[in-house]
Structure 1
C-alpha cells in the first residue's frame, strides 16, 4: 500500500465516502490487533508500531443504553493514570468505525484513549452507546452523521467536555426543507448510502415523506428533536467548546443552517469553511495524509481536554478558505468577515444596477431544466473543486425563456465576497404553489462561469395570481471575483437537486414594485 493506502473506488457507488477503501482499512485494523505489518507501507507500518507501543487495541461489542450491542474499537493506554477520552460515532456509512481507523490511531499516539463505534443500524451495530469509566475529560468527535450525534450527546451528557463536528448539521429541518424547498437529491443520497443499513420504520418514513412531498409538519417535528440547534441552550449553559468544519458548496447539509447554530453558541467555538462538498475537505486526513482540519481537531482537544496552551484559542473563531485561491483567512468572529454591503438592483434590461427600476416584468417557463444547476453530482463534485477543477458553466447556453438573468458591469478590481448574499425579489405566480432556484455566478469575459453560491425558494401559501415577495439568504461564501469579470444572477424554476412546487408549463413573472424593489445584497470583505 502507498501513501494513499485507504483511497479506492471499491465501495458501492452510493457511498458518501467514495475515497475510502474498506479492504485497506480492514488490513490496517488487523495490523493494530496482531502486530503483523505485512503488506503495509512504511508510513502505515510506522503508525501501527507507534500506536501499539503506547496503547492496546481491541475490537468487539459494547453495550448500548438499551442493552443492544454496538460494533466498536478501543485504543486504551496501559497504566493507572486517568487519560482524556475521544469518542467517535461513525459517519453515515456501512464502513462504521473503520472510517476513523487512522485518525483514532493518531489520537491514541497523542495520549488519548479512543473509543470509535459504529452508529446504530449500520453494519453489525444494534443499539446506542453509553460511555462511562474512570477518565479525566471526554471529547466527542464525529464526521457527518457522527457529528450530529456528537453535538446531541454533548448537549445532554455532562461528561462531555468538548466537541469536534465535521460536515455537520445544526438544523436538520432546514437541511431537508431549505426555504420550504425539499432537498430531494440529498435525501436520495442518504437513502442510497444506507441501503444496507437497518433504518427504523420512523426514519424510513420521514425520508420517504420528503421524497413524496407529504406530512411536512410531521417531518419537521421529527427533525427538530434531532437538531443540535434545538438544544443549543444546554450547550451554552455548560459552555461546551465546539469545533465545526464545513464546505462552502455542501450539498447534504448546506452551510447556513450550521452557521446559524455556530452563531448561537456562547462558549469557546471555531468554524472552518473550506472549498468542496460534504466530507471532502477532511477526507485526506481519513486517508492518513496531512490535513489542516484534522490537525485543528487534534489541537482543539489538546487545548480543551489536556489544557495545552497551543494558541488555538487566540486564533479567532473563523478560518475560511477562499475560492479559488485557497488562501486562508482567519477572522475573530463570523460577522467580521463582512465589512460592507453593496446593493445591486434587478432591472428590466437584464442588468444588476446601482439604481432601482420599476414597471418591468420577466417571465420564466416552469418545468424545464437549464445549464444552471447546483452541481454535477451530489458530494462527488466537491472533489473536483478541491482538486482545482470546479465545474465550468456555459452561460450563453442558458435559455432566457426558461430562466431570468441579470448581469453586472465588469468589476473594476478584485471583488471579495465574504458572508451571506441576500436576494429580495417579487414575482407573480399563476398557481397557488411556486418555487425557483437562484444562482450567483462569476462570469469570465469569454462567457464561461463558476458558481459562487445559490439557494432555492418555495412559496406554499399565496393565492393564485398574486404577487409573492421572496426574501432569501443565498448560502454563505468567501469568493474573489477577478478584475474584469461580471456577476450574474440566474433564476430558473427547476433544478434536479430540489423538489419543485410549480405545475408543468406554468410561468413565473419576476418584477420590481416601486415600493419594494428587487435587489441583490453583496457582502464585501
Structure 2
C-alpha cells in the first residue's frame, strides 16, 4: 500500500531543524559553480571544495538494477586516498542532507559518494528499512565510488545519520572492504527499539510511517510497522527486525574489528539509547560513543548545516585517524557523556567506568524511597488515564528544547495519586551524580490478563516543578488474572546531576500515550513489595 501526505500539508520530518532550502541552495551551487546566492561562509566552502575536487550528480545502479539518486565528489590525479560512502536519512531530502558535510570531507582529501536509499526522493525501488536489498545497494554504491576514483584507494568508510547509519553498519558487517563506520542516531537492536519490555513503541512507529508518507515502502516493511501499531504478529515483527539489526551481525563486525563511532541522544524517542549501547558494549574493535542532551538526530543537525558542532568534529577525527592514518588525538576514552542541560562533557575510558557505585532505595508504603525495605504495603494505580508525567510531548521535536537548555517542566503536584503511584527520596544532601542505567524492581497484581505501566524518574525541585531524568515501559501479556507479577527493568541510560535539596521522584503510571496500553480501561494495578522480593530502585552514581 502506498500512502500520500495531504497535498495541502507540509511533509512531516524527523529532522525539523534541517533547513532543506539552505541545503538545496548549497547543492545547486556545487553543481553550477555559482555560490553568489549563499552566505559568505557557505560560498567559501563551495569554492574550496570545487577547487579541490570535481562534483557531479548521477545515478548508482543498485541491487536488481534499481537506480539510486547520488552525488559524487571526486579528486583528479593518481594520489592514493580514502573514500567515504554516505547513505541518506529517512527523508525525501535524500543525499542533499549531506551536501555541506560531504563537501567538508572532500576538502580534506576524501573521495565521497552520497546517495538516497531506494524508495526515497528521486531514487527508484521500495524502501525496506535496511533489509538485504538496502545492504546490497550500499555495496553497489561503494563499487560505483571505487570505479570512479582516479588513484589507488587506501581505505573505505561508511557514514550515516539515522536510517543511513543503520544501513552503513549492516554494510560494514557484510562487506569486508569497509574499514570504519560513523553512525549518528542509529539503532543497534531494531526489535528492542520497536518493542521494549514487551511494550510497543506506537508513537515512534507512527512517526516513522508519517515521515515516510511520500516515500515508497516495501510491503514487508509497511506491514511490519503497521503490525506494531495493530498489535499483530509480534514474533514476526521481531524476526523481521532481527535481520535489520546490527546487533544480530556483531560477530561479523568483531571478526574484522571494524572501528565504529556513535553519536546518540539521552532522550532519543525513535531509537532509545539502551539498545544502541547493547551493540556498543558487544563491539570488540575500536569504538567511541558520544551521548548528548536532546532527541533523535538533534546532536549533529547543526553540523549538517555547516555550523560548528563537536560531534561532527569527533566524527571527522575518527575517519582521519582510521582512514587517513593520522595520529590526531589524545586517548579520550570510549565514552563522552554530556551531563544533561549543563553543557559539561565527561570522558570515560569505558561505558562501565561511567558508574562507580549503585545506590539502592526501596519503595515503601509511605511513598518514600528509603534505604530499608518494607513489606506488606499496596499502592493502587487506576489505568487508562493520562498523567502529567510523560516521555515526551512530541516525538523528536521535544529534544530541541532540551538541546537549548530548556527542558520541559512537569507539575509534580498535578499528578493524581489515584492514577499513578509516586515515591520520593529525601532531599539530596549533596549533588547526586546519576551516571549509567537506573534499574527498577517492582511486584504488582493485575486483575486482568494483559497489563502495562511506564516508570518515569524525575528530578523534583523544592518549588514542586520536576524534570524528566529517564523512563522505561513494561508490559506483561501472558500472566493469569490476579497473579503476582515481578518486573525487573532497566530504565534508559542517563547522565544527570540532581542538585542539592532536590528529590528523586519515581512515578509509576498505567498509561503514557507514547506507548501501547495493554491494560483494560479503568482496570487497576496493585503494586506491592513481598518480603522475599522487595521492590526497589537502583540509582547508578558516578
**Fold conserved between structures, TM > 0.5:** yes
* Residue-pair matches, total: 515
Structure 2 residue runs of 5 or longer lacking an equivalent are: 1-7, 126-136, 147-151
CA contact (8 A) 2:19 2:305 kept: no
CA distance in 2, matches of 1:106, 1:183: 36
> Within 2, Cα distance between the matches of 1:315 and 1:18?
32
Match of 1:207 among 215, 225, 241: 225
Question: Partners of 2:472 and 2:79 in 1: how far apart?
Answer: 51
Q: CA deviation at 1:11?
A: 9.4
Unpaired segments of 5 or more residues in structure 1?
A: 1-9
Aligned to 2:255: 237
Quote the residue 2:451 is aligned against. 434
Give how far 1:38 is off. Answer: 2.1
Describe the SS at the equivalent of 2:285. coil
Does residue 154 of structure 2 align to residue 136 of structure 1? yes
Whole-angstrom CA distance in 1 between matches of 2:48 and 2:190:
40
SS at match of 2:16: coil
Q: Does 1:269 align with 2:294?
A: no
Q: Are positions 1:307 and 2:305 aligned together?
A: no
Q: Distance in 2 between matches of 1:11 and 1:452?
A: 34
Aligned position for 2:208 = 190
Distance 1:438 1:19 in 2: 30
Per the alignment, residue 382 of structure 1 pairs with 399
Alignment of 1:174-189 (within 5 A): 174-189=192-207
Q: TM-score, normalised by structure 2?
A: 0.94
Residue number in structure 1 paired with 2:45:
47
Query: What TM-score, normalized to structure 1?
Result: 0.97
- Matched residues in 2 for 1:282 and 1:483: separation? 32
Matching residue of 1:63: 61
Q: How does 1:365-404 map onto structure 2 within 5 Å?
A: 365-404=382-421
- 1:139 and 1:92 mapped to 2: Cα distance? 20
Give the whole-Å Cα distance in 2 for the aligned partners of 1:419 and 1:470: 20
2:131 corresponds to which residue?
none
8 A Cα contact 2:66 2:118, kept in partner: no
Tell whether the 8 Å contact from 1:440 to 1:454 is kept in structure 2 after alignment: yes
Work out the CA distance in 2 between the residues paired with 1:484 and 1:105. Answer: 49
Matches for 1:441-520 after TM superposition, within 5 Å: 441-520=458-537
Structural mapping, 1:3-82, within 5 Å? 12=10, 14-82=12-80
Corresponding residue of 2:278 = 260
Query: What is the CA deviation profile of residues 479-500 of structure 1, one whole-angstrom value per residue up to 9, with x for unaligned ones?
Result: 0000000000000011110001
| C-alpha deviation, 1:136, in angstroms | 1.4
Shift of 1:60: 1.3
Which deviates more from structure 2 when the two are superposed, residues 200-209 or residues 23-32?
A: 23-32
Q: How much does 1:19 deviate?
A: 1.6
Question: Given the alignment of the two structures, is residue 327 of structure 1 paired with residue 344 of structure 2, yes or no?
Answer: yes
Residues 118-172 of structure 1: per-residue CA shift (max 9 Å, x gap): 0110011125340222521100000000000000000000000000000000000
Asked whether the equivalents of residues 424 and 519 of structure 1 are also in contact (C-alpha less than 8 Å), the reply is yes
Q: Within 2, Cα distance between the matches of 1:22 and 1:385?
A: 23
Once the two structures are TM-superposed, the CA of residue 12 in structure 1 deviates from its matched residue by 3.1
* Cα 1:30/1:294, change in 2 over 3 Å: same
Residue 129 of structure 2 is matched in structure 1 by none
* Residue 128 of structure 2: aligned partner: none
Secondary structure of 2:179's match?
Answer: strand
Q: Deviations over 1:286-329 (max 9, x none)?
A: 111000111111000000001100125x1100000001211010
Which shifted more, 232-241 or 129-138? 129-138
Deviation at 1:37, TM superposition (A): 1.4
Which digits, 9 at most, give the CA deviation of each residue in 1:12-40, with x for residues without a partner?
35201112222222211111111111211
Q: Matched residues in 1 for 2:343 and 2:120: separation?
A: 35
Report the RMSD for the aligned CA atoms in angstroms: 1.1
- 1:7 maps to what in 2? none
Picking from 78, 94, 97, the partner of 2:95 is: 97
